[in-house]
Chains A and B, each alone.
Chain A
Amino acid sequence: MEIATQAIEGGFVDPVFDAQTVFRAVMDAMARPGTLQPLPVFARPPAPLSATAGAIALALCDNDTPIWLDLVLQAPAAVKSWLGFHTGAPLAHTPADAHFALIATPAEMMALDGFSQGTQDYPDRSTTLILQVSDLVSGAPLLLEGPGIETTVTIAPAQMPRHFVEQWKQNNQRFPRGVDIILATPEGVACLPRTTRIKTMEA
């Protein structure tokens, strides 16, 4: 397909209600960390941007929110032009300038502290990371606790960043600064806000 056509096709069919449905799933996932909030396919972005990650970008990004793309997403022009056409969001020059970061290969991503952490005065000025993972069951299990979780919950997202448990512990220690993670799977979304702690499992 022509790049120009690829950029135009595949947005929300019903922008108002699709955006609301996607947002509610992300909101519920953020409020209940570690739970999978199912989402049907709303967007058909060009590969390697996944349908779920693309739908989240359409629901939350606009010309106020610079986006940072990882190397795999930066490579094809189609992804940039699709996001540009549908959201109007500019691309961030550095990860630290980004409001949202789209990451297709989390296992190879840069360190979490390379993104904007917010400031002590304005901890909300941090990057929200949208990680494309294939599922929440085939990776290393993470036992989660914190606000939004009644006791504990376990998820095992695949293709997570290197030394994730250690990196996440450091992210917790920066509170109220820190990044929040949205995991985009083909079935739906799950979130790890900065308040969620990973309990170290007994060996």
Chain B
Amino acid sequence: MTAQPTDIATYNFAYLDEQTKRMIRRAILKGIAIPGYQVPFASREMPMPYGWGTGGVQVTASIIGPDDVLKVIDQGADDTTNAVSIRAFFKKVANVAVTTETAKATIIQTRHRIPEHPLTSGQVLVYQVPIPEPLRFLEPRETETRKMHALEEYGLMHVKLYEDIARHGRIATTYAYPVKVEGRYVMDPSPTPKFDNPKMHRSPALQLFGAGREKRIYALPPFTDVVSLDFEDHPFEVQTFDQPCALCAAENVYLDEVILDDHGDHMFVCSDTDHCEKRREQGRRGDLAPETMEPTQ
């Protein structure tokens, strides 16, 4: 290794030891070869608690090289705790370039969103996944869910969606909405809002999913069919918003509700902070945009 001890922590490049990386790399290759199948892997303890993206961090650490440009988002935002600390982690242990711009990144690690800016060929999207098994809340036994995947027995999932309709009059699942990959495996797209499901379908980017606590890796190669489960009379629909982003006036993007005071006033703003900032730099202004733009950090 050629790292200078002064500007890089004295870990192996990207924190993980080489044997761990090889093990994860082999799991990634199997995942790509069997889209939607959850490959078991020997997840390591990472210097952060489970639930903070240990699966995604291990996948990123195994694929990243010194020429990569890393972007990390947490619910679409580049500036929240999880995103900031993971970005700092890779700056420290791998000394890689980081960015907040979707178009400039080669690897994007994400917690529960897909960027609004279309992804391109050559980019890799790494998802942090809490519960990789889409059938887990319907069938708690791993031995049974494994058999269900082996036999392609997904009736239970359709019953669950049907019960939604019986109870609420519509499919009430709004995030972690189950998808079928290449007509074979039912897969959990991680708790992304169902708004993002259509972006997975035939995406030109490679999508990798890492679940650290549950010790599973799965993948979607580019241009893979990803179909959200639905019924003929209750087709899959994404969320719609009746007002644009209050800061940048964007429509057809995913919005977060922000509470403004204790009188119930609220605003809806883009969940993707990079997308919102770019639009405001271009002079697009929403109803609640400040008169002069504050300098961004």
Residues of A within 8 A of B (CB): 14-17, 19-21, 23-24, 26-28, 30-32, 59-62, 64-65, 99, 119-124, 126, 128, 147-150, 175-176, 180, 193-195
Chain B interface size band reads 35 or more
A137 to chain B, nearest CB (A): 23
Q: Report B-chain residues with C-beta under 8 Å of the C-beta of A149.
A: 223
**Cβ of A176 and Cβ of B13 under 8 Å apart?**
no
**Cβ of A24 and Cβ of B63 under 8 Å apart?**
yes
Q: Report A-chain residues with C-beta under 8 Å of the C-beta of B150.
A: 119-121
**Cβ of B13 and Cβ of A147 under 8 Å apart?**
no
B147 CB within 8 Å of chain A: yes
**Cβ of B63 and Cβ of A30 under 8 Å apart?**
no
A14 to chain B, nearest CB (A): 7
A-B contact pairs, 5 of them (CB 8 A): A62-B19, A121-B149, A122-B40, A124-B40, A147-B224
Residues of B within 8 A of A (CB): 1-2, 12-13, 18-19, 21-23, 25-35, 37, 39-40, 62-66, 146-147, 149-151, 182, 184-185, 204, 206, 219-225
In this complex, the member of B34, B150, B206 whose beta carbon has the largest number of chain A beta carbons within 10 angstroms is B34
Q: How far is the CA of A180 from the CA of B243 in the complex (A)?
A: 49
Q: How far is the CA of A32 from the CA of B121 in the complex (A)?
A: 10
A18 to chain B, nearest CB (A): 10
**Cβ of A26 and Cβ of B65 under 8 Å apart?**
no
Q: How far is the CA of A14 from the CA of B35 in the complex (A)?
A: 32
Q: Could you tell me the dominant secondary structure of chain A's interface residues? A: loop
**Cβ of A60 and Cβ of B34 under 8 Å apart?**
no
**Cβ of A15 and Cβ of B18 under 8 Å apart?**
yes
**Cβ of A176 and Cβ of B22 under 8 Å apart?**
no
B201 to chain A, nearest CB (A): 12
Q: Which residue of chain B has the shortest Cβ distance to A16 in the bound complex?
A: B13
Q: Report A-chain residues with C-beta under 8 Å of the C-beta of B27.
A: 124
Question: Known: A17-B13, A23-B63, A147-B182. Is A59-B223 also a contact (CB below 8 A)?
Answer: no
**Cβ of A20 and Cβ of B65 under 8 Å apart?**
yes
Within 8 Å by CB of B29, from A19, A30, A148, A195, lies A30
Q: How far is the CA of A180 from the CA of B29 in the complex (A)?
A: 9
Q: Report B-chain residues with C-beta under 8 Å of the C-beta of A59.
A: 22, 25
Q: Lowest 6 CB-CB distances: which A-B pairs, in order?
A: A193-B33, A148-B221, A124-B30, A120-B150, A147-B224, A180-B33
**Cβ of A16 and Cβ of B39 under 8 Å apart?**
no
Q: Report B-chain residues with C-beta under 8 Å of the C-beta of A30.
A: 29, 32-33, 221
Q: How far is the CA of A147 from the CA of B225 in the complex (A)?
A: 8
Within 8 Å by CB of A193, from B32, B63, B149, B225, lies B32
Q: How far is the CA of A124 from the CA of B223 in the complex (A)?
A: 21
Question: Known: A15-B18, A194-B34, A195-B34. Is A65-B222 also a contact (CB below 8 A)?
Answer: no
Question: Known: A16-B18, A19-B18, A23-B63. Is A150-B32 also a contact (CB below 8 A)?
Answer: no
B105 to chain A, nearest CB (A): 15
Q: How far is the CA of A65 from the CA of B296 in the complex (A)?
A: 50
**Cβ of A175 and Cβ of B184 under 8 Å apart?**
yes
Q: Which residue of chain A has the shortest Cβ distance to B207 in the bound complex?
A: A31
B118 to chain A, nearest CB (A): 15
B68 to chain A, nearest CB (A): 9
**Cβ of A64 and Cβ of B30 under 8 Å apart?**
no
**Cβ of A62 and Cβ of B29 under 8 Å apart?**
no
Q: Report B-chain residues with C-beta under 8 Å of the C-beta of A20.
A: 13, 21, 63-65
Q: Report A-chain residues with C-beta under 8 Å of the C-beta of B65.
A: 17, 20-21, 24
**Cβ of A27 and Cβ of B35 under 8 Å apart?**
no
In this complex, the member of B25, B64, B151, B182 whose beta carbon has the largest number of chain A beta carbons within 10 angstroms is B25
Q: Report B-chain residues with C-beta under 8 Å of the C-beta of A148.
A: 32, 221-224
